[in-house]
Amino acid sequence: MPEGPELHLASRFVNEACGGLVFGGCVEKSPISRNPEVPFESSAYRISASARGKELRLTLSPLPGAQPPQEPLALVFRFGMSGSFQLVPRDMLPPHAHLRFYTAPPGPRLALCFVDIRRFGHWDLGGEWQPGRGPCVLLEYEQFRGILDLWHPKDPPPPSKAPSRTRRARRGLPEQTTAQQPKGTSLQQDPEAPPVTEKGRGGGNLVLSGGPSSASSSGEGKGTTEMGSPGEEGMAV
């Protein structure tokens, strides 16, 4: 699937391959394409290209004295999944050449074709870049990098607070400190809470864990509470 670098290379290809060529006549669209017709006709014009992000702009510029008089026309292409430009002999058009620009005599009889096998590509008249696009990573790298640094700072907050900060920033709410958090929201255990009782490995033994005098379930240390068997006297602490 063509991405930004591929469209940038396609614009360079058009400029290098078509820089010395003169085109003429009508722009021809295949009958099966659902894209708009290109209402442009000139006896002599040149083609140039530029790219920004995932869009490529093709400019058709009539030469002085060309007939009929025509203003320059720009087309913006989005390549979809399989779009590309090919320069081929006029009598050897490739399949799926949905838009064709023919050279004018007496030069070589060539055709610049927009080839799109899967037909997800699209072109628009007018030459305006799609609104709402961010800066181009190839041509506006500093602006692009600034946005990345804004969303991914070099010193990110701790993982436990990062989601909360992000959500609150999107809602325009002030940052909430730990002291402002309501009761019961912290996952940390209350230091004043009694230790959690764990079942010992031995049958019927209870071990109080977390205290300074805790020991193994065998009852060898102080601070271990054992429940004796029915034959023993009471409870040993």
**Residues recognised as catalytic:** 2-3, 54
Helices (H), 125-222: 141-151, 162-171
Q: Is the peptide bond before 106 cis (omega within 30 degrees of 0)?
A: yes
Q: Quick one: which of 183, 179, 178 has its CA closest to 158?
A: 178
> What 3-state class would DSSP assign to 102?
strand
> What 3-state class would DSSP assign to 50?
strand
Question: CA 51 to CA 178: how far, in whole Å?
Answer: 49
CA angle 150, 154, 155 (to 5 degrees): 110
96: Cβ contacts below 8 Å, ≥ 6 apart: 30, 115, 116, 117, 119
